[in-house]
Amino acid sequence: MQKIYFDNAATTPLDPAVVKAMANHMLSNFGNPSSSHGFGRKAKAELETIRKKIALYFNCSPSEVVFTAGGSEADNMVLYNAVKELGVKRIISSPLEHHAVLHTIEALGREFDIEIVYLSVDSHGEIDYTELESLLDTGKTKTLVSLMLVNNELGNILDASRVSAVCKKTNSLFHSDTVQGIGHVPIDLKEVPIDFIAASAHKFHGPKGVGFAIINKAHKFEPMLHGGEQEMGLRAGTENTHSIVGLSKALSMALDHFEEDKKYILELKQYFIQKLNANIPGIKYNGWSADRDKSAFHILNVRFPKEMPMLLFNLDLKGIAASGGSACQSGSSKGSHVLGAILNEKDAKLTSVRFSFSKFNNKEEADQVIEALVSMLDK
User: Which residue numbers are catalytic?
Assistant: 328
Q: How far apart are CA 302 and CA 318, in angstroms?
A: 19
Q: DSSP readout, 270-296?
A: HHHHHHHHHHSTT-EE-TTTT-TTTB-
Cα atoms in the 13 Å half-sphere on the side-chain side of 184: 35
Tell me the C-alpha to C-alpha distance, in Å, between residue 285 and each of 92, 150, 252, 334.
Answer: 28, 16, 32, 21
Q: Other CB atoms closer than 10 Å to residue 20's CB: what's the count?
A: 12
Q: List Cβ neighbours of 310 (8 Å cut-off, separation of 6 or more).
A: 330
Q: How far apart are CA 323 and CA 321, in angstroms?
A: 7
Q: How far apart are CA 90 and CA 32, in angstroms?
A: 40
